[in-house]
Amino acid sequence: MPSLDGKKILVGVSGGIAAYKIPILIRLLIKEGAEVQVVQTPYSQNFVTPLTLSTVSQKPVYSEFFEQNTGDWHSHIELARNCDLMVIAPATANTLSKLAYGQADNLLLAVYMATPAPVMIVPAMDVDMYNHPATQNNIKILSDRQNHIVLEAEEGELASGLTGKGRMPEPETILQEIISFFQKKNTLKGKTFVVTAGPTYEKIDPVRFIGNFSSGKMGFAIAEELASRGAKVHLVSGPVSIPYPNHPAITVHKVVSALEMHDAVKKLFPESDGAIFAAAVADFRPVSTANNKIKRENKTSFEIKLEKNPDIAAEMGKIKKDNQITVGFALETDEGLQNASKKLVSKNLDFIVLNSLKDKGSGFGTDTNKITIIDKGNKKTVFELKHKRKVAEDIVNHLVSLLK
Ligand code: PMT
């Protein structure tokens, strides 16, 4: 069976010289069994005609909201909702900027704004435009966006006669990226994972608690990444103020305290293929919770006696079967590598993700994180600071590489 059998691909063409290669890409996609719908910007018609594109795609090509002669309306919503992947190639500096900032002054941009489908963006332009901080910033914004893949431009001779980075990858390379995207989507089909996220709150009295600064962003990104690859996810989340993921394959279990998180994970873990412990669980809880608000009057100080909470990751590490994987996090402030390596062993994890509050932009509440993955054999893989969504991709890639 061709590798893209029945896949609906919306190709958006913007106005750069590399547009002349798009008919070849369309041919390759169709050969692999895809159904291709083309939308092009009016300016791109200078580089590749609608006639060429409609001939190779075997469908009408849309470029305007209205048909000039008949006044027929091309619904950008319908186009946007009727595809499995939108590929924008070539994406010029101008189009990249509009995609990044949500402008919708042509049909291609409006379709992009309206599509719930994943989007692959293929930048192509002259070397100085590509290297310009504005373009690089727009590429970063788009790469960090959920369900977006931005391909890197290639080095080489450019239409301007200059040499450098900015060339659109060849149609064969883009095709391979599209095929791998769809293959990756199903890598975790049939698997179920438990993900813990957010903080836990340990009640002192009806109005106060012991908690921490975890926002849930890291754990939620992991849950979303697992689901996007076909897995079923049980997301056990402490109290957070960010929206819960809205994905049909993710079931959210809301908990407050470490004991509640422990109970939920204990029930869900045995039926799962593994767990990723991204929550910042309170290690201790008050021995007792006051029934009424503790008053300040007549006190200069008071003590709260604490007792140890169960170590959820360590407990699951003890009962896990050969075919289950457990992944932990280590949030450190000092001696990160040593502490993380110890936790890897004591919690019987398959690997641990070290993040340190010493690294700017990492840890609690930030959109970004800088991680080091430490394997059982103590092999360390260091990653650069990136958006938590991309960090989640690195973690799930690592998990997939360990699955039997
Ligand atoms: O939520 P964000 O704002 O995005 O922040 C993300 C994060 C910094 C919270 C996350 O990346 C992270 O590091 N989570 C783990 C924080 C933590 O509690 O680390 P730890 O080193 O204390 O714990 C080690 C591991 O054991 C963790 O996987 C933790 O979930 C687990 N654990 C710890 C204690 C406990 N009682 N039960 C546990 O399961």
Residue 258 near ligand 1, beta carbon < 6 Å = yes
CB atoms within 10 A of CB 330: 22
| Residue partners of 215: CB distance under 8 A and separation at least 6 | 198, 240, 241, 242, 364, 365
User: Any idea what the CATH number is for the domain that residue 379 is in?
Assistant: 3.40.50.10300
219 CA distance to ligand 1 middle (Å): 10
**Are 282 and 181 part of one and the same domain?**
no
Residue nearest atom 26 of ligand 1, based on CA coordinates: 313
Give the pLDDT mean for 324-341: 95
pLDDT over 90 at 56, yes or no: yes
pLDDT of residue 329: 98
Eight-class DSSP state of 361? T
**Are 283 and 248 part of one and the same domain?**
yes
393 CA distance to ligand 1 middle (Å): 18
| 3-state secondary structure at position 288 | coil
In angstroms, the CA 307 to CA 319 distance is 23
N-terminal to C-terminal alpha carbon distance within the chain: 25
61 CA distance to ligand 1 middle (Å): 51
228 CA distance to ligand 1 middle (Å): 23
pLDDT of residue 367: 94
pLDDT of residue 106: 95
144 CA distance to ligand 1 middle (Å): 23
From 52, 4, 54, 55, select the one nearest 30 (Cα to Cα). Answer: 4
**Are 318 and 396 part of one and the same domain?**
yes
Give the Å distances, CA to CA, from 73 to 228, 273, 288: 33, 49, 66
Residue 279 located in a structural domain:
yes
- Going by pLDDT thresholds of 50, 70 and 90, the confidence category of residue 234 is very high
**Are 180 and 196 part of one and the same domain?**
no
Residue 330 near ligand 1, beta carbon < 6 Å = yes
pLDDT over 90 at 76, yes or no: no
Candidate of 281, 285, 372, 387 to mutate for ligand 1, largest count of ligand atoms within 8 Å of Cβ = 281
pLDDT of residue 300: 92
Give the pLDDT mean for 120-138: 97
pLDDT of residue 160: 82
Residue 217 near ligand 1, beta carbon < 6 Å = yes
Residue 2 located in a structural domain:
no
Give the Å distances, CA to CA, from 275 to 72, 215, 262, 329: 52, 19, 13, 11
* Token code pair at residue 349: 């994890």
In angstroms, the CA 166 to CA 159 distance is 10
pLDDT in tens, 262-273: 999 999 999 999
Residue 284 near ligand 1, beta carbon < 6 Å = no
Strand partners, 235: 195, 252
**Are 140 and 267 part of one and the same domain?**
no
- Going by pLDDT thresholds of 50, 70 and 90, the confidence category of residue 336 is very high
Write the DSSP assignment of 246-266 as a string of letters: --TTEEEEE--SHHHHHHHHH
Enter the pTM of the model.
Answer: 0.84
Residue 211 near ligand 1, beta carbon < 6 Å = no
**Are 179 and 257 part of one and the same domain?**
no
pLDDT of residue 404: 66
pLDDT in tens, 265-312: 999 999 999 999 999 999 999 999 999 999 988 889 989 999 999 999
Give the pLDDT mean for 216-236: 97
In angstroms, the CA 391 to CA 220 distance is 12
How high does pLDDT run on average in the chain? 95
Percent of the chain past pLDDT 90, that is, above it, reads 88
pLDDT in tens, 196-220: 999 999 999 999 999 999 999 999 9
pLDDT of residue 66: 74
Residue 283 near ligand 1, beta carbon < 6 Å = yes
Helices 171-185, 22-31: axis angle to 10 degrees equals 40
Residue 46 located in a structural domain:
yes
Residue 363 near ligand 1, beta carbon < 6 Å = yes
343 CA distance to ligand 1 middle (Å): 11
Q: Taking the mean position of all CA atoms in its chain, how far away is CA 126?
A: 29
Q: How do beta strands 148-150 and 208-210 pair?
A: unpaired
pLDDT in tens, 352-404: 999 999 999 999 999 999 999 999 999 999 999 999 999 999 999 999 999 96
**Are 141 and 250 part of one and the same domain?**
no
**Are 286 and 339 part of one and the same domain?**
yes
Give the Å distances, CA to CA, from 134 to 41, 93, 131, 141, 292: 22, 9, 8, 11, 56
Residue 278 near ligand 1, beta carbon < 6 Å = yes
pLDDT of residue 29: 98
Segments forming the whole domain that contains residue 334: 192-290+301-403
pLDDT in tens, 148-185: 999 999 998 888 888 899 999 999 999 999 999 999 88
pLDDT of residue 218: 98
User: Which residues are part of the catalytic machinery?
Assistant: 212
Candidate of 284, 318, 329, 371 to mutate for ligand 1, largest count of ligand atoms within 8 Å of Cβ = 329
Of 161, 185, 209, the residue at which a domain comes to its end is 185
| 3-state secondary structure at position 391 | helix
- Going by pLDDT thresholds of 50, 70 and 90, the confidence category of residue 21 is very high
pLDDT over 80 at 73, yes or no: no
